[in-house]
Amino acid sequence: MNYDTYYHICRQSYKGPSSVTDPAEFYKDPVRIIPLDSFGPAYLETVNVLAEKVRTDFDSGECVKNDGIMAKHFNIWKFEEELTALSRFLVPHLEEHRYGCHLYVDKIYIYRTMPMEQRVSSYEWHYDNNPDEVVKTLIYLNDVDPSNSPYEYLATPQGTGVLGVCTRRGTLDWTPAPNNSRVGHLIPKLSERGFEPTKVLGPRGTTVSFVNNSIHRANPVLSGYRDVVNIRVKPTFEPSPTYVSPAWTTGFETSGVVNRDPEKAWATKD
């Protein structure tokens, strides 16, 4: 089974609240900035607590590995209380307003972007090449302006995000992406057609949710720093007992490639 079919089945079984009237919008509008007033003051209070704890660890090097590309936190469970709280705000919002089905959190990444002399890895234009039904949500843990590594995505002339061509769709279709899903060579021609790189700027707590195959990149730090928590969700037929759990949520310690079989959900760690 491929993920698009599984997503359709999950939608059919869902009994929760949903404002999703046209499932095709999920793919047509893949990058969405979630207004901060969607969650209320408790959301920002949780972001503030997490941000200060994460900043302290990155500044001290506690639980952090720097591979020269990003400084990565390798103990997300140090922040279990805050990550659980954020997921309780975010995941129901995505269920109701984006997916129209049950979700669970399979990945959480916490990292700090770096100064780079030459763009490599996530600093290049790329898409993740996991199935389109996998969505990431970035939450800025500090104020972000053009100088400190804003998230950037490619937008159509109408202002919506652009999906790369996914070649890992599920059990029936699982092949490597051309050029390792790096698409920088396509940007000049797309720019001539009115497609525009768009940087997401904003204060601490800015929340941008995107289909993982949206064409995007990080930007090198010119001054200051950018700390981020990245929460990734997947559809599930049966609702999970809690959105986040060490039983099925992982961080940088395991590969970011999702399980080829979409039916292997929260009950089994990918």
Residues 140-182: tens digit of each pLDDT: 999 999 999 999 999 999 999 999 999 999 999 999 999 999 9
Inside any domain, residue 41: yes
Inside any domain, residue 240: no
Mean of the pLDDT values across residues 31-55? Answer: 96
DSSP, collapsed to helix, strand or coil, labels residue 201 as: coil
Q: Nearest 5°: phi and psi at 100?
A: 70, 35
How high does pLDDT run on average in the chain?
95
Inside any domain, residue 248: no
Amino acid 117: pLDDT: 82
Residue 270 reports pLDDT greater than 80? no
Residue 197 reports pLDDT greater than 70? yes
Q: How many domains does the chain fold into?
A: 1
Amino acid 118: pLDDT: 83
In a 13 Å sphere around the CA of 202, the CA atoms on its Cβ side amount to 19
**Are 240 and 99 a contacting pair, CB within 8 Å?**
no
Looking up tokens 């997300």 gives 76
Q: Nearest 5°: phi and psi at 70?
A: -145, 150
Here the CATH number for the domain that contains residue 153 is 2.60.120.620
Residue 268 reports pLDDT greater than 90? no
Inside any domain, residue 216: yes
Give the C-alpha separation, 82 to 76, whole Å.
10
Inside any domain, residue 42: yes
Inside any domain, residue 270: no
Helix and strand numbers (H, E) in the chain are 5, 12
Inside any domain, residue 63: yes
Residue 201 reports pLDDT greater than 80? yes
Segment 212-221, tens digit of pLDDT: 999 999 999 9
Give the C-alpha separation, 11 to 235, whole Å.
9
Q: Nearest 5°: phi and psi at 231?
A: -110, 120
Structure-block tokens of residue 87 = 């997921």
Inside any domain, residue 37: yes
Amino acid 23: pLDDT: 85
Domain ranges, residue 34: 3-235
DSSP letter (8 states) at residue 37: G
| Residue 149, Ramachandran bin (φ over 0: left; ψ between -120 and 50: alpha; else beta) | left
Give the C-alpha separation, 265 to 270, whole Å.
8
pTM reported for the whole predicted model: 0.95
